[in-house]
Structure 1
Amino acid sequence: MNKITLAITATAFAFSSASMAADNQSDWPSSMTVGTASQGGTYYIYGSGWANLINQKLDTNIGAEITGGPMQNVSMVQMGEHDFGLVTLGPAREALEGKSPIMPGIEHDNVRAVFPMYPTIFHITALQSSEISSVDDLVGKRVGVGPAGGTNSVYFPRFFDLLGYDVDTLEGGAGDQTGQMQDGLLDAFAFGAGLPVSAVSQVEAQSAVNVFSYSEAEIDTIVEAYPEISTAVIPADTYNSMDEDLPTVSMWNFVVTSADMPESLVYEIVKTVMENNDAMQQIHRSAEETLPENYIHNTQIPFHPGAVRWFEENGYDIPEELEG
């Protein structure tokens, strides 16, 4: 084969590859949205950063939307109002079973898992001047639990009730509620997210705070009552206010999408995220857990076919019952 033939062949191959790539994207939406949560929480930082990364790598147009959090996000995906959503597995499981308070009685059967994010780590913050340093100190106090419809606004009241603590929980944005705590309008802020929570880091940069969680016995009670909850540890270097590791409880987060999302798009998104963990960690430290092996934490939500294809091509077996 002479040089001219080689050049023509190479050009034809390049043109064919480009055409295939263009055809591969022909059914991709021209613009998309991802539901996150309130500003000041990890979801908004992670979700907007993830959208920017995908836009840069795949030439898509995904915009991050401020929402009430996982419970709203899973319903917005089910209804087709958002293309992607960040969810914790507990609220997502309840929605799949038709137990969502936002859409009661409607089984969210159009929702599919895309990739694992990180575990939500539950913990509580109070100003040192309040002398609140344990969960039983919260009895009769006003405690912020994040946005309505978020994981925290659902699970912290459940935990308090389970443990027999009479706590007055109030809903609101993460950044707003830490500000209210500093102003004396709230006694504490109970929140779970990827670590560190930026709103907590910001308040401790201005005020002396106590960061605490449940006792060992309380953790055992919570884990026994809620199968979606796991034990966890907050490393001592997470916040300047901590001087030792803090045992607590956690719940895993996943990105979800609609079953109708093009398979090629979901495949390329999973490939991009799973093969660029360094870039993901530049978005938020919690993305150190955004690793393919953590797909095993999802045992409830069917995976999107595009996600199934990437995971199985790379040696990760998706259970047959979770192949969506």
Structure 2
Amino acid sequence: MKKIMSLFLACGLLLGAASAALADGKRLTLATGGTSGVYFPLGGAIAQVISTKSDGKFSVTAQATGASGENMRLVQANDVDFAMVQNDVADAAYKGTPPFRPDNKMTDVMAMGRLYPEYLHVVASTDSGVKKLEDFKGKKVSVGARGSGNEVNCRQIFQYFGLDYKNVEPIFLPYGETADQFKDRQLDGFVFTIGTPNPAIQDITTAQSVQFIPVEGAKVDELVGKFPFLVKDAIPAGTYKGQDKPVPTLSVQCILIVNKNMSDDDVYAMTKALYENLDDVAKAHNKGTEISVAHAADGITIPFHPGAARYFAEKGIKLPQ
């Protein structure tokens, strides 16, 4: 009995020490997104890994937010320590291009690393006759909520394929409403910039067959040259019902950002704790399987924080100039 009591006491002391170590760690806040999206639960997994794998240096809390645009403002104002955002939103905010203001560039924000791709899904109904992007002329196409990152991506891409809001009938709807109208045959197609698999598209493909429209060719090379935050990519085969082959497309990236005033040593330690424990992230959220050191610089066009840059230099990762 004494041995058992001693064992319980030892375990209690160890747990207490671990809790105290976390409690004593520097408290950080990670801004994520809405509770129903990917950012919040994945952010929770990232927060847990950095907290437990940094030798007690940090105690990280994931905070629900309005996602990319709000997160840029929160990090710029130093109201949170780091955040998850789309790389194209980070590019626009840093440079002061629409939808952000040129007199309010968010240059206190720096990159920590890329997480996972958010694919451009271009989908058409089988009876629309659409086989390629140019075929959307004269069609009803949901381009996302007005002013959203999704809609910005549509305007960027359409112009390279001879499309605009004069020869396409744009419908400004969020994802859920788009899915409902598409299933009711009120739309010819839609464009989503989103991670995979997307539940709304899964719902659609379970109910009816669709055409996944490839985004490829010389025009894509021009696009990537113009907008380097876009990456040539492909939706993996089998992501959706009836989609048996990879679909060539573009992707934007979910990235981590941090305020430039955070110390180099702290950002180095955070980056190391995360990227050297990705298996633990993946156990908590399936998106963790898409995070890798090898792709940590993909699509990032804002400067890297020196602390993160030091870690990736040690790993032989070439960062953009």
- TM-score of the alignment, normalized to the shorter chain, above 0.5: yes
Note if contact 2:65-2:71 (Cα within 8 Å) is conserved in structure 1: no
- What is the percentage of aligned positions where both structures have the same residue? 26
Structure 2 CA distance for aligned equivalents of residues 200 and 224 of structure 1? 29
Matches of 1:164 and 1:156, distance apart in 2: 12
Q: Which structure 2 segments of 5+ residues have no match?
A: 1-13, 52-58
Counterparts in 2 of 1:37 and 1:199: CA distance versus 1, 3 Å: farther
Secondary structure at the residue paired with 2:196? coil
Q: Say if 1:180 and 1:186, in contact at 8 Å, map to a contact too.
A: yes
Aligned to 1:36: 33
CA deviation after TM superposition for structure 1 residue 21, in Å: 4.8
CA distance in 2 between counterparts of 1:170 and 1:79 reads 35
Aligned-pair CA distance for 1:154? 0.7
Question: CA separation of 1:244/1:227 partners in 2, compared to 1, >3 Å: closer, same or farther?
Answer: same
The structure-2 alpha-carbon separation of the partners of 1:172 and 1:112, relative to structure 1 and needing over 3 Å to count, comes to: farther
Are residue 51 (structure 1) and residue 43 (structure 2) matched? yes
Q: Distance in 1 between matches of 2:239 and 2:192?
A: 15
AA partner of residue 64 (structure 1):
A
* Equivalent of 1:119 in 110, 117, 128: 117
State the partner residue of 2:193: 192
2:151 aligned residue: 153
When the two structures are superposed, what TM-score results if normalisation uses the length of structure 2?
0.75
Bigger shift: residues 281-290 or 47-56? 281-290
CA contact (8 A) 1:36 1:85 kept: no
Q: Which residue of 1 aligns with 2:182?
A: 181
Q: CA deviation at 1:124?
A: 0.9
Question: 1:296-307 to 2 correspondence within 5 Å?
Answer: 296-297=297-298, 300-307=301-308
Aligned to 1:61: 61
Offset of residue 121 of structure 1: 2.2
CA RMSD of aligned residues (A): 3.4
Q: Which amino acid aligns with 2:259?
A: S
**How big is each residue's C-alpha offset from its partner over 1:248-273, in whole Å with a ceiling of 9 and x where there is no partner?**
22333311122345666644543343
- Taking a change above 3 Å as real, the CA distance of residues 71 and 18 of structure 1, as seen in their structure-2 partners, is closer
Q: CA deviation at 1:131?
A: 4.1
Q: TM-score, normalized by length of structure 1? A: 0.75
> What is the total number of aligned residue pairs between the two structures?
295
**Corresponding residue of 1:96:** 94
Unaligned runs of 5+ in 1: 1-13
| Pair 77,137 (structure 1): closer, same or farther in 2 beyond 3 Å | same
- Residue 135 of structure 1 is aligned with which of 133, 136, 141? 133
Alignment match, 2:73: 75
Question: In structure 2, what is the equivalent of residue 6 of structure 1?
Answer: none
Amino acid at match of 2:178: Q
1:279-318 mapped onto 2 (5 Å cutoff): 279-282=280-283, 285-297=286-298, 300-312=301-313, 314-316=314-316
